[in-house]
Structure 1
Amino acid sequence: MIVLGIESTAHTASVGFVEDGKIIDFVSDSYRPSSGGINPREAASHHMDCFPDLLVKLLDRNSLDIKDIDRISVATGPGLGPALKTGVEMARYLSLKYGKELVPVNHGVAHLEIARNMSSFESPLFLYVSGGNTQIEIIGNGMYSVLGETLDIGVGNFLDKLARDLGIPFPGAPKLEEIASRGGEIFDCPYTIRGMDVAFSGLYTHLKNMIGKREERDIAFNAQEYAFTALAEIVERGMAHFGLRELAITGGVARNRRLQQLLREMSELRGYDYFFPEDKFLSDNGAMIALAGYFSKRVESPEDTRINQYERVDSYTAEWIGSRKVSPKSMVGGESMVEDVKFQGVECIRKVRRGREYRNPSLDRKINSQRLRREVRLLSAIKKVGINAPTVMYVDIDDLSIIMTKIKGKPLSMFLSDGNFNALVRESGRITALMHLSKISHGDLNAGNIIYNGDLWVIDPSMGSTSPTLEDFGIDVHLMKESLSSLGRERSFREFLKGYENFNRYEEVLNKVKEIEGRRRYL
């Protein structure tokens, strides 16, 4: 079967084809704005002008006729509305004129299919990084399941926006990479991770305000070090938490050599297998749309094919990828070593924040020391309001270690088959409400950071705050929702909310959660 793929979600117009599931060829042309970022209507006009010539070029150089095509697939979302429409209109026209099957494809799923097929991995964790998307995914139940993502803007948008502020035309990320290679001084900048989610808007604002005050090369250097270190960390947390051993990356930003270096060194340090596709397959291209279209059974009539500008990867059925069931394997996200010790005759654990050899040493020390101090402060605050938490017995800042009382029990995530699981989740909601009423956010609230031994105990609040905002409360609730979903217990989130409804800002927080989950990735 020969499948034609049409891509037009953002700045690139591309057509490509696969034959019997093998990528054969693609041709592309990218819109380049004279100033600023992508203008959606200008991009659409560019694509409309390019598509006829691109299709003729693809067919001619492969000695094909349009009649040789068996199926047409087209990216229907997510993306920029006007740009998406040009590709869909072309696909409809070809389908109707030549009587070809038409298959709508999710752009993100197509990127993931490149990594899945080329790596031949059985059950990998995927890092998908592009202009508008930043996510870590696994194979779920007949679709890709998102474990973590950006809470605000995609990493590519962050890099391109900062590049524009530095006077670098779109696309600025490749030039920023070149400039960053000449930098070396680490600044004190925001570093935002919540569970397995990341955020870049604070880092962007901070670095933007440094323009004119610091060297351009060091601004670019810090942009990459902070952003890519955060991405490597959430990948490592996901791999450790679910016991995964294979990593594959995809998306345009995955071409960045510094990001690849961090991920390669992290993988080799932890003994993970990893796969980075060739650069040409990481950019938006028609061949990836054709590949996903080849496997899909979702044939539609041209009249029914519509764009879905905000369609998520985890809302698109991809039955051909099969199903994988994963469950948490670790209470810590790969960032600490824990050992049993006795301290002053008391059974304790010693938790050491291990250095990550693959990270910039100055940044690594900064992150770990800040989290250690925050964990000590927050454990004390949590205990003071009557919530069970370990007692800190001794702290060694130089050694980045804490000795605290040992809690004999298992994480909530290990009680999925227990008949009392929903009751425990409901009680977790009540405890979270009490934390929030007491002006405490956890920052990494999930079913692995709540221990049950007859009572519920809260552990590892190292990303939380004692002066939280509504955003912090919303992120806590969002993280618990994500955690339950990743465990296949989406419905149990209702029980969590039953316990949480005692919080006097309950409705505000739920609205904030909706805002967080509905934030646009294409900006």
Structure 2
Amino acid sequence: MDRSRSLRVLGIEGTAWAASAAVFETSDPTRRTDDERVEIYTDAYEPDSGGIHPREAAEHMHEAIPEVVAQARETAREWAGEYDGRDRQPIDAVAFSRGPGLGPCLRIVATAARATAQRFDVPLVGVNHMVAHLEIGRHRSGFDSPVCLNASGANAHVLGYRNGRYRVLGETMDTGVGNAIDKFTRHLGWSHPGGPKVEERAKDGEFVDLPYVVKGMDFSFSGIMSAAKQAVDNGEAVEDVCFGLQEHVFAMLTEVSERALSLTGSGQLVLGGGVAQNDRLREMLESMCEQRGADFYAPEARFLRDNAGMIAVLGAKMFEADDTLPIEESRIDSNFRPDQVPVTWREDEDWTADGDSVRVGKDDRADGGGHAGDALQGAEATVTFEDGLVTKRRNPRTYRHETLDDRLRRERTRLEARLTSQARREGVPTPVIEDVDPENGVLVYQRVGEADLRDDLTEARVRDVGRHLATIHDAGFVHGDPTTRNVRVGREASETRSSKTTDNAATAERTYLIDFGLGYFTDDAEDYAMDLHVFDQSLTGTADDAEPLLAAAREAYRAESSDPETVLERLREIEGRGRYQ
């Protein structure tokens, strides 16, 4: 095709509740603004009661898709006649949401897309719905390589790009954030969707303490939803429970987003998904990014809820990259994972490094080691270095409610000190704790290693981590956040100021576990498997070739653990859940 002229793509979306069609034109901005170049037509399914009923949603999709597609086609014809003459085809390609979503709805959309593509004799493009949420944020913001938080009804996960694919850095362990909130509101007898109603009632509420579950960059909503239902049943004011629910759920999403920024070194965050319309969630994310010096962007509402505009925009990029589908290969995939999508439309760049552990100090290197006078802003703490010691301060996080933030800072500081010392007693290399002040969230410990594992990823190092995790699991506790940023590598210091250290002469290469703040004591194999899952995700997100490293970690864990098969079987179950589908 002639790349110099405008390109028009018709997009069709229908993964669940929104029957939507759109036309997107890559015209000269002097002739049509970016806002004007995306025209979206949506007919939303609204259940009479409860949540989405798949059969009713499919019936609605069957009735509504022809009408919205016809409207989008007419707009495409008008634009074609306005700029290119009536003899020009109104569209150059048809893009459709191939998954993930409800199978009956997806099949209706795919049928409409095939028919439209055949009618105009144009190529077909199959778009991953979740990647489209990410890409519309990247497209509208102009960011190079952001981390993306997707917060929608059926999904909740953190994504980032590396080596030709979007990697899942963290995800829900049970249900999507919107669906979780809807389960709570159905308990109250409220109609779908529940999110806006919770947001409105929360405006008059006060804080209620609820469960807060973050494991690395993964998170869980089932416990907090059960507790919220119970709180209402026990007489707590609905407004207060709604307020507490938002403060906990959105703080969890914001925390894992900050961890993803820290892990990847990206200084850019984009938000996607229908729940992203919530003002409190956006406020939290914006506050977090401001505090750590990162850039934040959330598209306008029409691009946050399920919509065909994002399908058309990504479809145009894929079409220009010759990433199209033959009709016979255009079957839908209701479990279509975003990390299964080859990203053909982007250059193969890695993370941007402008947000890498934001440094406050005179030295500007991003090696994570630190020099005297430096201060590094990690995921949730500021770290300073002086005379072989590290001072870690869990400063208040401005995005979290003060009551919740105080509790988490105290608990995590105590746990980090206790579990760091416990792991050392079990023979796992960790820093020596010199001082701890839980009330102010301060730890002082020996400086260990020369770099993060992220900067020295070898099979030997990864095997060390596998053995270390097996050791602490056998001792009855988990690390909680064993990412490649929370492992330090290098020679053991030959000297130390620590009065508690007796081994001052060792010079062997060591692999240290640090930052046990999310750890806890447990005898549940599921918890041990989650530790391994978090480590696997961080390897996938930071290694150029993760497969040999994953195999090495598994091999070492199996050799060291007293009951590896039980834990690894649980790990396989976790990996197979497809939790954000």
Pick closer, same or farther for the CA change 1:468–1:207 going to 2, 3 Å.
farther
Distance in 2, Cα, partners of 1:449 & 1:275: 28
**In structure 1, what is the Cα distance between the partners aligned to 2:352 and 2:136?**
25
Output one character per residue of 1:294-332: Cα deviation in whole Å (capped at 9) or x when no partner.
111222222221111111111112211222223884467
Residue 283 of structure 1 is aligned with which of 294, 298, 305? 305
Correspondence for 1:405: 446
* Equivalence map 1:372-383=2 (5 Å): 372-383=413-424
1:73-126 per-residue CA deviation (whole Å, 9 max, x = no partner) reads 111100111111110111122233442311111111111121011101112222
Could you say what secondary structure the match of 1:28 adopts?
strand
**3-state DSSP of counterpart to 1:68:** coil
Distance, in Å, in 1 between the alignment partners of 2:240 and 2:141 is: 35
1:43 aligns with 2:57: yes
Residue of structure 1 in register with 2:518 after alignment: 463
**Residue 13 (structure 1) aligned to one of 5, 8, 19:** 19
**Aligned residue number for residue 208 of structure 1:** 229
Gaps of 5+ in 2: 1-6, 28-33, 81-87, 358-367, 369-376, 492-508
Does residue 54 in structure 1 map to residue 68 in structure 2? yes
Residues 398-477 of structure 1 aligned to structure 2 (within 5 Å) = 398-416=439-457, 421-452=458-489, 453=491, 454-477=509-532
Query: Is the CA contact 2:98–2:106 (under 8 Å) kept in the aligned structure 1?
Result: yes
Choose between structure 1 and 2 for higher RCO, CA contacts under 8 A separated by at least 6 residues.
1
Q: Which one-letter code corresponds to 1:212 in the other structure?
A: D
Q: Does 1:495 align with 2:517?
A: no
CA distance in 1, matches of 2:137, 2:118: 32
The more displaced of 398-407 and 106-115 is: 398-407
Deviating more after overlay: 403-412 vs 252-261? 403-412
* 495-504 or 252-261, larger mean C-alpha shift: 495-504
Residue 259 of structure 2 corresponds to residue 237 of structure 1: yes
Q: How many residues matched?
A: 514
**Could you list the per-position Cα deviations for residues 401-428 of structure 1 after superposition, in whole angstroms to 9, with x for gaps in the alignment?**
1222332432222213xxxx21121122
Aligned residue in 1 for 2:190: 168
Aligned to 1:337: 382
Q: Is the 1:245–1:273 Cα contact (8 Å) retained in structure 2?
A: yes
In structure 1, the partner of 2:343 is 318
Counterpart in the other structure of 2:217: 196
Equivalent residue letter for 2:443:
I
- Counterpart for residue 2 of structure 1: 8
C-alpha separation in 1, matches of 2:274 and 2:335:
19
Q: Which deviates more from structure 2 when the two are superposed, residues 9-18 or residues 298-307?
A: 298-307
Q: CA deviation at 1:61?
A: 5.5
For residues 479-501 of structure 1, what are the alpha-carbon distances to aligned partners after superposition, in whole Å with 9 as ceiling and x for unaligned? 11111111224121111111100
Give secondary structure in 1 for the equivalent of 2:232: coil
8 Å CA contact retained: 1:5, 1:15: yes
Q: CA offset at residue 254 of structure 1?
A: 0.9
1:390/1:487 Cα in 2 relative to 1: closer, same or farther (>3 Å)?
same
2 CA distance for matches of 1:394 and 1:299?
59
* Post-superposition offset of 1:510: 2.0
- 1:413-471, CA deviations, whole angstroms, 9 ceiling, x for partnerless residues? 2213xxxx211211221121111111121110122222222122221111112224112
1:483 corresponding residue in structure 2: 538
Give the AA of the match of 1:317: P
TM-score where L is the length of structure 2:
0.84
Query: Structure 1 108/405 Cα, relative in aligned 2: closer, same or farther at 3 Å?
Result: same
* Corresponding residue for residue 571 of structure 2: 513
TM-superposed CA distance for 1:279, in Å, is 0.6
On the 8 A contact 2:449/2:511 being kept in 1, the answer is no
Whole-angstrom distance in 1 between the partners of 2:92 and 2:454 = 47
Task: Verify the 8 A CA contact 1:88 1:306 in the aligned structure 2.
Answer: yes
Structure 1 residues 2, 339: CA separation in 2 closer, same or farther (over 3 Å shift)? closer
Q: Does structure 1 retain, via aligned residues, the 8 Å contact 2:172–2:580?
A: no
Give the deviation of 1:339 after TM superposition.
Answer: 2.5
Q: Is the 8 A contact 1:139 1:321 kept in 2?
A: no
Whether the aligned pair in 1 keeps the contact of 2:480 and 2:516 (CA below 8 Å) is yes
Residues 336, 352 of structure 1: 8 Å contact kept = yes
Question: What residue in structure 1 maps to residue 285 of structure 2?
Answer: 263
Shift in Å, 1:225:
0.5
How far apart are 1:59 and its partner, in Å?
Answer: 3.6
The residue identity in structure 2 corresponding to 1:27 is: Y
The farther-off stretch of 494-503 and 395-404 is: 395-404
5 Å-filtered alignment, 1:287-302, equals 287-296=309-318, 297-302=322-327
User: Partner residue of 1:83?
Assistant: 105
Contact 2:205 2:242 in 1 (8 A): yes
Q: Which moved more, 1:189-198 or 1:138-147?
A: 138-147
Q: Once the 2 structures are TM-superposed, how far is the Cα of residue 63 of structure 1 from its aligned partner?
A: 5.1
C-alpha distance in 2 between matches for 1:340 and 1:379: 19
Asked if the contact 1:338/1:349 (under 8 Å) is kept, the reply is yes
Q: Secondary structure at the match of 2:520?
A: coil
Q: Relative to structure 2, which stretch is displaced further, 498-507 or 219-228? A: 498-507
Moved more, 235-244 or 498-507: 235-244
2:391 corresponds to which of 350, 354, 363:
350
* Counterparts of 2:402 and 2:170, CA distance in 1: 25
Q: How do 1:207-226 and structure 2 match up within 5 A?
A: 207-213=228-234, 214-226=236-248
Contact 1:15 / 1:27 at 8 angstroms: preserved in 2? yes
Q: Does the Cα contact within 8 Å between 2:173 and 2:579 map onto a contact in 1? A: no
| Contact 2:459-2:549 within 8 A present in 1 as well | yes
Contact 2:8 2:92 in 1 (8 A): yes
